[in-house]
Amino acid sequence: EAGVVQSPRYKIIEKKQPVAFWCNPISGHNTLYWYLQNLGQGPELLIRYENEEAVDDSQLPKDRFSAERLKGVDSTLKIQPAELGDSAVYLCASSLDRQRNPTFGQGTRLTVV
């Protein structure tokens, strides 16, 4: 079975530019997570989806970050405009439901210069 697929793997942008990350979860997985991982730290949850509904986005900085999962399958995370401090790895994960352990993708490493 294909795992959680994220693209791109790496992205370098200038500050104030927009950027988007894409995630295709494992087929049939209803729960989808976006995590942020700063260098040397553990992942921090940004948002969780149950199907197409964002059920926990309390940690998402809504002034510049947005996410969507329109058909309850794949998802995009957007930053506009990007700041230097947004440089990090953005991880997507999915699970059958919120009771099961999530499977993580390889992440997108964002560098803002």
Partner 1 sequence: DAKTTQPNSMESNEEEPVHLPCNHSTISGTDYIHWYRQLPSQGPEYVIHGLTSNVNNRMASLAIAEDRKSSTLILHRATLRDAAVYYCTFNNAGNMLTFGGGTRLMVKP
**Interface positions with partner 1 (CB under 8 A):** 4, 33, 40-45, 48, 56, 91, 93, 98-99, 101-107
Rank residues 93 and 112 by Cβ distance to partner 1 and give the closer one: 93
**Cis bond upstream, residue 8 (ω within 30):** yes
Rank residues 65 and 90 by Cβ distance to partner 1 and give the closer one: 90
Rank residues 28 and 40 by Cβ distance to partner 1 and give the closer one: 40
Distance in angstroms (rounded) separating the CA atoms of residues 23 and 95: 13
Smallest distance, partner 1 to C-beta of residue 6, A: 8
Distance in angstroms (rounded) separating the CA atoms of residues 88 and 61: 15
State the sign of the Cα–Cα–Cα–Cα dihedral 58, 60, 65, 66. negative
Smallest distance, partner 1 to C-beta of residue 16, A: 28
